[in-house]
Amino acid sequence: MEKIIDENKQGENLIIEGKEGNKRKLFIESYGCSMNFSDSEIVASILANEGFNTTQNLEDADLVLVNTCSIRDKAEQTVRKRLEKYNAVKRSHNPKMKVGVLGCMAERLKSKFLEEEKIVDLVVGPDAYKDLPNLLAEVEEGRDAINVILSKEETYGDISPVRLNTNGVTAFVSITRGCDNMCTFCVVPFTRGRERSRDPQSILEEVNDLWNRGFKEITLLGQNVDSYLWYGGGLKKDFKKASDIQKATAVNFAQLLELCAKAQPKMRIRFSTSNPQDLTLDVIETMATYHNICNHIHLPVQSGSNRILKEMNRLHTREEYFELIDNIRRIIPDCAISQDLIAGFPTETEEDHQDTLSLMSYVKYHFGYMFTYSERPGTMAGRNMEDDVPEPVKKRRLAEIVALQQEHSKTRTQEFLNKTVEVLIEKSSKKSDQQWSGRNQQNSVVVFPKEHYKVGDLVNVKVTDCTSATLIGEAIGYSNNN
Ligand code: SAH
Ligand code: F3S
């Protein structure tokens, strides 16, 4: 039942244009959140300067890297299975192959990885990718290499990532790293470290560069984008120690959004993920002011029960969340809102679960990502709370949540019937190469006959039909925003 973020992309193997003269072959695949996919682009850029071109063939690879996720136990088990597969290939085809583990599992398990998984030669945490050339030199000399040091500064702002497996239209731009929120169920603050923001200048340069290369939509990425704060570098938690000048010239998320929207007024802008406790009205107002900022907010709530929200250390109540939803709807009436929810957090009762269902009915989310609670070692809940909701109960509650979401998604999809929506064409539809597939501002997938339109065009589409999650329509002309 569990749904994984970016389900279609899990385990995707990344390919970039080869650099002439590069002799070594890198196979790199990624699991988990968008940030990991974005980080793999940074890693591939660093290694392109070390003589590596990417390959799709595991059998040919000199170096295999897997960018890993620790968010739930299942994510870690998937990676362990991949390591078994690499091991089999190494034994049968390619004894010289080296294997490295990147990302959150590397950070969580550190040197344990080298002991537990004999196949692994290299362990690199999310803040240590610039050390890869040194670490690889160690590996080449026959030693295991590890760097899992978390940084106060690293944002990779100075690395312009090569875009992997790109459609040439949409790209991720990372704006913050780490997270200070300490939700009690979540391993991210431990695996990705303290929160720091990237220099807005380097973000704008990347956005401008993407536009010049033909990209039409960016997604600003962070674990908690609303918490973005640039005051010349350093950790978010140290902002209070900043000088008066630094404080006066600081850039917050609403300001960053505005800078991006103005720098490229025709570039569509999305962002992910928002946190209810940090999403401010000025962000919503900025969204309303600039047409190119898409009307969609991914606003995880995790639970609808005040008692559970408190146990989770989510710093808002159900009532405050409703107020935020009301404000979003008042300022941007057609804004899509999506959720993340967890079923079966420790001590969750039937009544708490009913609160989650009633919260969902209030908001009627456009879509969502729903999970059963998975205890993570080292987190506050992992240490202090017993994982006491039996697995079958978690699964039944999740099934009820998913069923209700499906109902709401269907209603939301039907609301677009007979309306005209603006679609950015991304690719051919999976079902028919006669049809384009793209998304409207609210992030719903829209398919329509290709006619003379091409990838990257912004087209107005009249919606004539729909399935539970896809809009079907016909183009009526170019949007004025091309
Ligand atoms: N702020 C992050 C959230 C990362 S985790 C972001 O940018 O998306 C993504 C989702 O995984 C969370 O919102 C939560 O719903 C879920 N999750 C996190 N830890 C979990 C756990 N221990 N068990 C089950 N689901 C979890
Ligand atoms: Fe995790 Fe909560 Fe941060 S879900 S990533 S600790 S906002």
Q: Is 139 in the pocket of ligand 2 (CB under 6 A)?
A: no
What are the pLDDT digits (tens) for 333-353? 999 999 999 999 999 999 999
* Predicted pLDDT of residue 22: 84
Q: Tell how strand 122-124 and strand 63-68 pair up.
A: unpaired
What are the pLDDT digits (tens) for 6-61? 556 777 777 767 777 888 999 999 999 999 999 999 999 999 999 999 999 999 99
More confident residue, 305 or 23: 305
* Predicted pLDDT of residue 303: 98
**pTM (predicted TM-score):** 0.93
pLDDT > 90? residue 425: yes
Place of tokens 């990718």: 129
Nearest CA to ligand 1 atom 6: 223
Mean pLDDT, residues 186-212 taken together: 96
Q: Is 225 in the pocket of ligand 2 (CB under 6 A)?
A: no
Q: Which CATH number fits domain 7-147: 3.30.300.20, 3.40.50.300, 3.40.50.12160, 3.30.980.10?
A: 3.40.50.12160
Nearest CA to ligand 1 atom 24: 373
- Are the CB atoms for 423 and 446 separated by under 8 Å? yes
How would you class 163 by CB atoms within 10 Å of its CB: exposed for 0-12, middle for 13-18, buried for 19 or more? buried
Q: Is 189 in the pocket of ligand 2 (CB under 6 A)?
A: yes
Confidence of residue 302 (pLDDT cuts 50, 70, 90): very high
Q: Is 341 in the pocket of ligand 2 (CB under 6 A)?
A: no
Pocket residues: Cβ below 6 A from ligand 1 = 33, 71-72, 185-186, 188, 223-224, 273, 300, 302, 340, 342, 371, 373-374, 376
CATH 2.40.50.140 range(s) for the chain read 420-478
pLDDT > 70? residue 291: yes
Whole-number average pLDDT of the chain: 94
pLDDT > 50? residue 5: no
Place of tokens 């079902």: 431
Is 335 labeled as ligand-binding?
Answer: no
- Are the CB atoms for 372 and 387 separated by under 8 Å? no
* Predicted pLDDT of residue 6: 53
Q: Is 183 in the pocket of ligand 2 (CB under 6 A)?
A: yes
What architecture (CATH level 2) is domain 420-478? Beta Barrel (2.40)
CATH 3.80.30.20 range(s) for the chain read 170-412
* Predicted pLDDT of residue 8: 62
List the single range of 13-22, 168-177, 282-291, 434-443 with lowest mean pLDDT.
13-22
Cα–Cα distance list, 416 to 384, 445, 469 (Å):
46, 11, 11
* Predicted pLDDT of residue 456: 97
* Predicted pLDDT of residue 7: 58
* Predicted pLDDT of residue 4: 37
More confident residue, 10 or 418: 418
What are the pLDDT digits (tens) for 60-118? 999 999 999 999 999 999 999 999 999 999 999 999 999 999 999 999 999 998 988 88
Q: Is 191 in the pocket of ligand 2 (CB under 6 A)?
A: no
CATH 3.40.50.12160 range(s) for the chain read 7-147
* Predicted pLDDT of residue 67: 97
* Predicted pLDDT of residue 172: 95
Q: Tell how strand 52-54 and strand 176-177 pair up.
A: unpaired
* Predicted pLDDT of residue 325: 98
Confidence of residue 477 (pLDDT cuts 50, 70, 90): very high
Mean pLDDT, residues 288-306 taken together: 98
- Range 245-282 burial, b when 16+ CB lie within 10 A, else e: eeeeeebbbbbbbbebbebbeebbbbbbbbbbebbeee
Q: What is the percent of the chain with per-residue pLDDT over 70, rounded to a whole number?
A: 98
Class of domain 170-412: alpha beta
Q: Is 184 in the pocket of ligand 2 (CB under 6 A)?
A: no
| Residue to probe by mutation, ligand 2, list 186, 278, 314, most atoms within 8 Å of CB | 186
Nearest CA to ligand 2 atom 7: 181
Q: State the Cα–Cα distance between residues 361 and 365, nearest whole angstrom.
A: 8
* Predicted pLDDT of residue 318: 98
* Predicted pLDDT of residue 356: 98
Confidence of residue 2 (pLDDT cuts 50, 70, 90): very low
| Ligand at shortest distance from the CA of 76 | 1
* Predicted pLDDT of residue 19: 77
* Predicted pLDDT of residue 165: 75
| Ligand at shortest distance from the CA of 188 | 2
Q: State the Cα–Cα distance between residues 347 and 140, nearest whole angstrom.
A: 50
